Structure 1
Amino acid sequence: MRYSYEFKRKAIELFYQGEWPKTPNGVRTDTFHNLIRDWVKLEGLPGSDINKCRRTNKYWSPEENYELVCQVLSGQGLKAVAIVAGINCGQLYQWVYKYKTLGCNGLMNKPKG
C-alpha cells in the first residue's frame, strides 16, 4: 500500500506526540507502527523529500548494486543501507544473496526482459 506524503507527515507528527494514526484496513497494527518508525528514521536523514513517493522506478546499475552489497558485507545493517538508498529491504537482500551465491558475475548480469 502506498501512502501519500501528507499522510506520512501527519503520522510522524502524531508519533512525536505519543499517538498513532488509525491503522488502515487490511494492515496489521504492529506492521503499520513499524512502518511509521521507519518514516521517522528517514526524516532524520539528509534531504527533506526522503519520504516522498517516487513516481517512477529507479534503475540501479550493476556498479550501484555492488556498492550497496559491499556496504552490507562490510558490516552495515541491511535495513539501514536499504533505507538510506531508498530501496526495499527485500530487494537489497536478494542482491546480497545473489552476490554470496553467484559471486560478482551473478550480480553484474542484467536481468532479461
Structure 2
Amino acid sequence: MRYSYEFKRKAIELFYQGKWPKTPVGVSTHTFHRQIRDWVKLERLHGLDINKCRGTNKYWSPKEKYELVCQVLSGQGLRAVAIVAGINSGQLYQWVHKYKTLGYNGLINKPKGRPLKDSKMKLPKNTSPRT
C-alpha cells in the first residue's frame, strides 16, 4: 500500500509523541508499526525528503549492488543495510538471491521489454495464391 507524504509525516510525528496512528484496513498492526519505524530510521539517516515519492527510479550499477550484497553476506542485517542504502528490503533480498544463484552476472541489469524480432524467423513467402 502506498501512503502519501503527509500521512507519513503525521505518523512519524505521532511516533515521536509515543502514539500510533490508526492502522489502515487490511494491514496488520505489527506490519504497519514496523513500517512507521522504518520511515523514522530513513528520515534520521537521509533527511525529510527520503519519504517523498520519487518520480524516477535510481539506476544501480552491478558494482553498487555487489557492495550491498557483500554487506549482507558478511553478516549485517538485510533490513539495516537496506535502510542505510535508502532502498526497499525486498529489493535488496532479490539482489542477494540473484547473487547466490547466478553469481555476479545475476546483478547485471537485463534489457526490458519484448525482444527484437529475429529476421531469420520470417515465414517463407507463399508463391501460390490462396483459393
Q: Do they fold alike, i.e. is TM over 0.5? A: yes
What does residue 61 of structure 1 align with? 61
Structure 2 gap segments, 5+ residues each:
113-131
Q: Is the contact made by 2:42 and 2:86 (CA closer than 8 Å) also made in structure 1?
A: no
Partner of 1:102: 102
Please say if 1:22 is aligned against 2:22.
yes
Counterpart of 2:70?
A: 70
* 2:110 paired with 1:111: yes
Q: Give the structure, 1 or 2, with the largest relative contact order (CA under 8 Å, sep 6 or more).
A: 1
Aligned mates of 1:75, 1:46 — CA distance in 2: 23
Partner SS for 2:49: coil
2:13 aligned with 1:10: no
Cα displacement (A) at 1:86 = 2.0
Q: Which residue of 2 aligns with 1:84?
A: 84
- Tell me how many residue pairs correspond in the alignment: 112
RMSD between aligned alpha carbons? 1.6
The higher radius of gyration belongs to 2
Aligned partners of 1:52, 1:22: CA distance in 2, in Å? 21
* 1:34-68 alpha-carbon deviations (Å, 9 max, x no partner): 11111111222143322222122222121221121
Moved over 4 A (4+): none
TM-score by length of 1: 0.86
Which 5+ residue runs of structure 1 have no aligned equivalent? none
% same residue? 81
